Amino acid sequence: MYIIIAGGGKVGYNLTKILADKGHEVTLIEKDKARYLELSEEMGDAVLWGDACEVALLRDAGCNRANVVVAVTGDDEDNLVVCQMTKAMFIEKARTIARVNDPKNEGVFVDLGVDNTVSTTRVIDALIEEKIESEMLMPLTQLGKGNMEIVQVELSKKSKGVGKKVKDLNLPDETILIAALRGEQVVVLKGDVELTADDMIIALTTKENERKLRKML
């Protein structure tokens, strides 16, 4: 499968590495020159420098043969433009996935034809509405402090965690599973919840334990 990722920040970088490790062909596009040079030292020709909102650059990236285009920049407008151009200028059937930084924009993305959107803000809001237990909510207050971070792990049919209940998982230290995006549902991951294929797991962990978490799920 050929995948193009727009945005070489933390999300784009980690996603590129994960997909490449799984054997997919991946091209990462980053418009900030300094960040591009940093990424290219590690990833070589898999990284392109330029603005993914430009048709010429998407063409150079091989958008006309892409199976999936993922836009994960920090700018919602850019993410929307990348997805729309993919459909209009290149391959209408290509799957488009966009990061939505402002949850108010999510409906617009869907109305304008983006296949899938990901909004961490929406997930946290849904968790609050579900009145999750205090021990699960409190770690969220640590975001931005120390080395805690929210990560996303997509499960496949071959994932080790599929079919297991949350309480039976041997999670790394300082790690908590918050929720699973399951279709249009946000499922709070309490102890008796069983993980299923295609779940998008939202977890809170440390930078040091992120790799361990991905490996065990």
108 burial type by CB count under 10 A (0-12 exposed, 13-18 middle, 19+ buried): middle
Helix intervals (H) in the chain: 10-21, 33-43, 55-60, 76-85, 106-111, 120-129, 134-137, 210-216
Continuous segment of H or E residues that includes residue 202: strand 200-206
Of 147, 145, 194, 134, whose CA–CA distance to 175 is shortest?
147
In angstroms, the CA 164 to CA 177 distance is: 13
Encode pLDDT of 26-53 as tens digits: 999 999 999 999 999 999 999 999 999 9
Kindly state whether residues 177 and 197 are assigned to the same domain: yes
Does pTM surpass 0.85?
A: no
Mean pLDDT of 122-129: 56
* Range(s) of the domain holding residue 194: 121-216
Question: pLDDT value at position 138?
Answer: 42
Say which amino acid occupies 206: T
Q: Please give the angle made by the CA atoms of 204, 174 and 169, to the nearest 5 degrees.
A: 80
Kindly state whether residues 90 and 104 are assigned to the same domain: yes
Kindly state whether residues 180 and 192 are assigned to the same domain: yes
Read off the CATH number of the domain in which 136 is found: 3.30.70.1450
Mean pLDDT of 168-191: 82
Please identify, among 99, 118, 137, the residue that sits at the C-terminal boundary of a domain: 118
Kindly state whether residues 88 and 186 are assigned to the same domain: no
Cβ 107 vs Cβ 123: under 8 Å: no
Kindly state whether residues 113 and 9 are assigned to the same domain: yes
Kindly state whether residues 170 and 105 are assigned to the same domain: no
Say which amino acid occupies 189: L
Kindly state whether residues 108 and 136 are assigned to the same domain: no
Distance from the Cα of residue 15 to its chain's centroid: 7
- Number of domains into which the chain is organized: 2
Kindly state whether residues 92 and 13 are assigned to the same domain: yes
Above pLDDT 70, what percent of the chain?
86
Query: What is the residue-averaged pLDDT of the chain?
Result: 83
Kindly state whether residues 150 and 110 are assigned to the same domain: no
Q: Is the pLDDT of residue 76 over 80?
A: yes
Cβ 169 vs Cβ 216: under 8 Å: yes
CA torsion 71-72-76-80 (nearest 10°) is 10
Q: Is the pLDDT of residue 213 over 70?
A: yes
User: Sorting pLDDT into bands at 50, 70 and 90, what band is 14?
Assistant: confident
Read off the CATH number of the domain in which 17 is found: 3.40.50.720
- Higher pLDDT among residues 89 and 150, named by residue: 89
DSSP string, 99-123: E-SSGGGHHHHHHTT-SEEE-HHHH
Please identify, among 118, 134, 162, the residue that sits at the C-terminal boundary of a domain: 118
In angstroms, the CA 51 to CA 49 distance is: 7
Q: For residue 36, report the phi and psi dihedrals to the nearest 5 degrees.
A: -60, -45
Kindly state whether residues 159 and 201 are assigned to the same domain: yes
Of 104, 113, 108, 100, whose CA–CA distance to 181 is shortest?
100
Question: pLDDT value at position 140?
Answer: 46
Encode pLDDT of 136-177 as tens digits: 444 444 444 456 677 788 898 889 999 999 999 989 887 888
| Pairing assessment for the beta strands 116-118 and 148-154 based on DSSP bridges | unpaired
